[in-house]
Structure 1
Amino acid sequence: MPEPPRSQQLPVSLLTDHAMIEACQIRDFGRIFQLVKTRAGIYPSMIARRCDLTPSRVGEVIAGHRQLLHMDVIERISDGLRIPGHMLGLARRSWETPQNLTVAPRDPAEAPAPVGEQLAAGLPGVDVDSILALASERDLGPSTLHALHSSIADYWRRDDEHGGETLRPAVVGQLRYVVDLLKEQRPAPMRNGLHSIAAELARLTGWTYFDARQYNQARAYFTEALGLAKAVDDRQFMANVLSCMSLQATYQDKPGDAVALVTAAQDQARGAEGTTPRVLAMLAMREAFALATLGNHSATHGAISEAHTCFGRISADDPDPAWVAYFDEPKLIVDTGIAHGRLGEVALAEPLIADALRREHQSNHRGRAFHAFWLARIQFKRGKLDEACHTAMGALGPAAAVGSQRVAGHLREFYEQLEPFRREPAAVAFEATLREVLPRQVSGSPRP
Structure 2
Amino acid sequence: MTEQSRPQELPAGLLTDPEMIDACRVRDFARVFRMVKAKAGIYPSMLARRCELTPSRVGEVMAGRRQLLHMDVVERISDGLRIPGHMLGLARRPWETPPHLGVTEPEAPQEPEPEKNATASLPGPDVDSILALTTRTPLNTATLEAFHSSIEDYWRRDDQHGGAALRPAIVGQLRYVVGLLGENRPAAIQKGLYGVAAELARLAGWTYFDARQYNQARAYFTEALQLARESDDRQTMANILSCMSLQATYQDKPADSLAFVTAAQDQARSAAGTTPRVLSMLSMREAFAHATLGNRGSTHRAIGEAHHHFEQIQASDHDPSWVNYFDEPKLIVDTGIAHGRLGEAATAEPLIADAIRREDHANQRGRAFHSFWLARTQLEQGKIDQACHTATQALESARAVASERVTGHLREFYDQLAPHRQEPVALAFEARLRALLPSVSGSIHP
2:236 pairs with 1:227: no
- Give the corresponding residue for 2:436: 437
Partner of 1:252 in structure 2?
251
Identity of paired residues, percent?
65
Describe the superposition over 1:299-321 as per-residue Cα deviations: whole angstroms up to 9, x where unpaired: 10000000000000001100100
**2:196 paired with 1:197:** yes
CA distance in 1, matches of 2:299, 2:92: 46
Give the AA of the match of 1:356: A
Q: How far did residue 135 of structure 1 move?
A: 2.8
- The answer as to whether partners of 2:375 and 2:386 remain within 8 angstroms in 1 is yes
Q: Is the contact made by 1:91 and 1:173 (CA closer than 8 Å) also made in structure 2?
A: no
Matches within 5 A, 1:36-435: 82=82, 85=85, 90=90, 127=125, 129-136=127-134, 138-435=137-434
1:9 aligns with 2:15: no
Residues 125 and 425 (structure 1 numbering): CA distance in 2 closer, same or farther, change over 3 Å?
farther
CA shift digits 1:56-113 (9 cap, x unpaired): xxxxxxxxxxxxxxxxxxx9xx669849959x981699xxxxxxxxxxxxxxxxxxxx
SS of match in other structure, 1:373:
helix
Q: Which runs of 5+ in 2 are unaligned?
A: 17-74, 94-109
Which consecutive aligned stretches of 4+ in structure 1 deviate over 6 angstroms post-superposition?
46-53
Distance 1:258 1:163 in 2: 24
Alpha-carbon separation, structure 2, partners of 1:80 and 1:342? 50
Deviation at 1:131, TM superposition (A): 3.5
Q: What amino acid maps onto 1:281 in structure 2?
A: S
CA distance in 2, matches of 1:143, 1:80: 37
Following the alignment from structure 1 to structure 2, what is the Cα–Cα distance between the partners of residues 435 and 224?
40
AA aligned opposite 1:422:
R
Q: For the structure 1 residues 241 and 256, does the alpha-carbon distance in structure 2 shift closer, same or farther, using more than 3 Å as the test?
A: same
My pick for the range that moved more, 416-425 or 310-319, is 416-425
Deviations, residues 31-59 of structure 1 (Å, cap 9, x unaligned): xxxxxxxxxxx9xxx99979979xxxxxx
In the aligned structure 2, how far is the partner of 1:253 from the partner of 1:422?
Answer: 27
- In structure 1, runs of 5+ residues without a counterpart are 11-41, 54-74, 94-114
User: Aligned partners of 2:415, 2:359: CA distance in 1, in Å?
Assistant: 27
Task: Give distance in 1, aligned partners of 2:121 and 2:280.
Answer: 52
Aligned-pair distance for 1:127?
3.3
Amino acid at match of 1:90: L
> Residue 272 of structure 2: SS of its match in structure 1?
coil
Note closer, same or farther for the CA distance 1:238–1:79 as it changes in structure 2 (3 Å cut).
Answer: same
Native 8 Å contact 2:411 2:444 kept in 1 = no
C-alpha separation between the residues in 1 aligned to 2:244 and 2:79? 31
In 2, Cα distance between equivalents of 1:160 and 1:126: 41
The equivalent of 1:110 in structure 2 is: none
The alpha-carbon deviation at position 336 of structure 1 amounts to 0.1
Aligned length: 364
TM-superposed CA distance for 1:5, in Å, is 9.3
Q: Distance in 2 between matches of 1:366 and 1:231?
A: 33
Give, in angstroms, the shift of residue 420 of structure 1.
Answer: 2.1
Shift of 1:241: 0.6
Q: CA deviation at 1:169?
A: 0.6
Deviations 1:140-183 (A, max 9, x none): 11111010000000000000011111111100000000000000
Per-residue displacement from partner, 1:214-243 (whole Å, max 9, x unpaired)?
111111111111111111111111000111
2:89, 2:171 within 8 Å by CA — same for their partners in 1? Answer: no
Paired letter, 2:4: S
Distance 2:360 2:127 in 1: 41
Aligned AA (1:231): E
The CA RMSD over aligned residues, in Å, is 3.1
Q: 1:47 to 1:439 in 2, by over 3 A?
A: farther
Query: Are the equivalent residues in 1 in contact too, given 2:195–2:228 (CA < 8 A)?
Result: yes
Rounded to whole Å, the distance in 2 between the matches of 1:290 and 1:313 is 23
User: What SS does the corresponding residue of 1:184 show, helix, strand or coil?
Assistant: coil
C-alpha change, 1:124 and 1:315, in structure 2 (3 Å) is farther
Using the alignment, how far apart are the partners of 2:344 and 2:443 within structure 1? Answer: 36
Shift of 1:345: 0.5
Residues 1:48 and 1:177: Cα distance change in structure 2 (over 3 Å)? closer
Q: Distance in 1 between matches of 2:267 and 2:148?
A: 23
CA distance in 1, matches of 2:268, 2:318: 14
> In structure 2, do the counterparts of structure 1 residues 420 and 202 end up closer, same or farther at CA, with 3 Å as the change threshold?
same
How much does 1:403 deviate?
A: 1.0
The question of whether the paired residues in 1 share the 8 Å contact of 2:211 and 2:404 is answered with: yes
| Partner Cα distance (2:348, 2:444) in 1 | 32
The 1:266/1:81 distance shift into structure 2, 3 A limit, reads same
Could you state the TM-score of these two structures normalised by the residue count of structure 2? 0.75
Q: Report the CA distance shift for 1:436/1:123 in structure 2 as closer, same or farther (over 3 A).
A: farther
